[in-house]
Chain A
Amino acid sequence: MAGRTILHSDANCFYASVELLHHPELRGKPVAVGGDPEARHGIVLTADYVAKRCGVKTGMALWQARQACPEVVFLPPRMDLYLRFSHMAREIYAEYTDLQEPFGIDESWLDVTASASLKGDGMAIAEELRERMKRELGITVSVGVSFNKIFAKLGSDYKKPDAITGMREWEFREKAWPLPASDLLYVGRSTRAKLYKLGILTIGDLATAPEEVLHAHLGKMGSILWAFANGYDDSPVKAEGFHAPIKSIGNSTTSPRDLVNNEDVKIVLYLLAESVARRLRENGFRCRVVEVSVRDNDLFCFTRQRKLDYATNVTGEIAGEAFTLFVENYDWGKPIRSVGVRGSDLVTDNYWEQLDLFSSVERREKQMKVDAAVDEVRKRFGFFAVQRGLMHCDERLSHLDAREEHTVHPHGYFG
């Protein structure tokens, strides 16, 4: 994999930039995109640079942002608009390479090795991209130019906005190594703490540490990070249109009010399970593991999972299992803010299965038919056309169509 040219292009404050393009009257003012005026889970998704300078950060609750910056203007997110711009950005990237790997809605890796003879070297292509994004889409990007994905990403974070940073073979020691280790992809809070205990503060420290020590303390991840820091990352940029195989299907939501008893949780879990099971069915999967995640109103969270006897995509089975898991693992020390359901260890729909003597195959088949019928009705008449009786216990909680919400989170790097 010698001599690759990899770019990482990152749209600066993407949501906020798209909004500012469309609202010239707000330019130069502190602006934050985020929140849902109807529900209460209002957090900042993106802030522009003016707001960031006043201390508004992504992930802050709206009231905190207001405290940090009283003049901040809150814009409700318009996801469809951002998706359109993301799509247009990818069209521009596609003129330079078919090896384009999006990482979330606003970032992409591009392997432009083969374009170098036609379009110039990595820096020249990066310059052209930066210019075109500004002129054609009215937003700015920062681009990292390197020989691998990890350093390319580091480069795009190095200088913002509207900037280009090279992180090539001859310069990464000088530029990347003084950076804190936590700037590296996959060094989160807990890894950073572990590295800190080993006296490793910068990417350079990480690169020059003995690999065995890192492996001993961090396991496989230790070796991977060591390789990242030394520029040995040779993971390919995945071709355009390639989607990582789905490994799990899940859904979570912050409920319109805190959940205070099992009954509340049951409503939300069933609702989420409906969406998870339906997506499993749509994609021709069954899951063999069900997982629940719980976050209390102190934002403490945990997950529990269980292997099933049968692979399933029956709504009732997934919901029932999730609820049992929850009841076994939660003692109601605190009210709950959000819950999630996930099905993983997926197998295809026609997966062959050992039957057991004591469960009723007919009953299961009936349930599958019911699910199929419900899917059909909902496809024709909308999600709320058919509801479980349970959903009428608390209509405020149950009035969420979980499936329709956009998923924009990046796939994992290791795909």
Chain B
Amino acid sequence: MDREIGFYDHEYGSKARSAKVYVDVRAVFTKDGQLRPTSIIWKDGTEYEIQAIKDVRRAASLRAGGAGLRYTCVIAGRESHLYYEDNNLWFVEEK
């Protein structure tokens, strides 16, 4: 009977929607103990420099689906949110 229950596939479900994108990040640990991302590498391999970090706080992203330390970054002149999850993965909200 249980075979027909039909479980949701976490992986598949997450891929089906697109707002959460995990990215590679270059970052610096500053000498006063801060973790500061300096650039992100998009899935096509392009590296984007983080020109400024305007705010860092813990926040949830309802759109992408996740929570963590949220860096409000200026990338190519535009503000975007970069999240550092407690499992050490970085994600951004896809526009």
Contact = CB atoms under 8 A, between A and B. Distances in A.
Interface string A50-72: 00000000000011001000000
B8 A21 contact: no
B67 interface: yes
Most chain A CB atoms below 10 A, which of B8, B10, B59: B8
Which range holds the interface residue count of chain B?
Answer: 20 to 34
Contacts of A62: 2, 5
A163 interface: no
Contacts of B57: 136
A135 B1 CA distance: 41
A74 B66 CA distance: 20
A24 B67 contact: no
Given A42-B5, A63-B1, A78-B10, A138 B16 contact: no
A22 B65 contact: yes
A138 B13 contact: no
Interface of B: 1-2, 5-8, 10, 13-14, 16-17, 19, 57-67, 86-87
A135 B17 contact: no
Contact of A138 (B2, B7, B10, B60): B60
A76 B65 contact: no
Contacts of B7: 35, 37, 74-76
Nearest to A138: B60
Contacts of B64: 24
Nearest to B19: A24
Nearest to B5: A62
B5 A66 contact: yes
A366 interface: no
Interface in A16-64: 21-26, 35, 37, 40, 42, 62-63
B62 A63 contact: no
Given A88-B86, A137-B60, A76 B10 contact: yes
Contacts of A37: 2, 5, 7
A88 B67 contact: yes
A87 B8 CA distance: 26
A390 interface: no
Contacts of B10: 23, 75-76, 78
A85 B67 CA distance: 9
Contact of B2 (A42, A85, A88, A134): A42
Contact of A21 (B1, B19, B66, B86): B66
Contact of B8 (A73, A85, A136): A73
Contacts of B61: 138
Contacts of B62: 21, 24, 138
Given A63-B5, A76-B7, 10 more contacts: A23-B65, A24-B19, A40-B2, A73-B8, A74-B5, A75-B8, A134-B60, A135-B59, A136-B59, A137-B67
A24 B65 contact: yes
A138 B8 contact: no
B60 A135 contact: yes
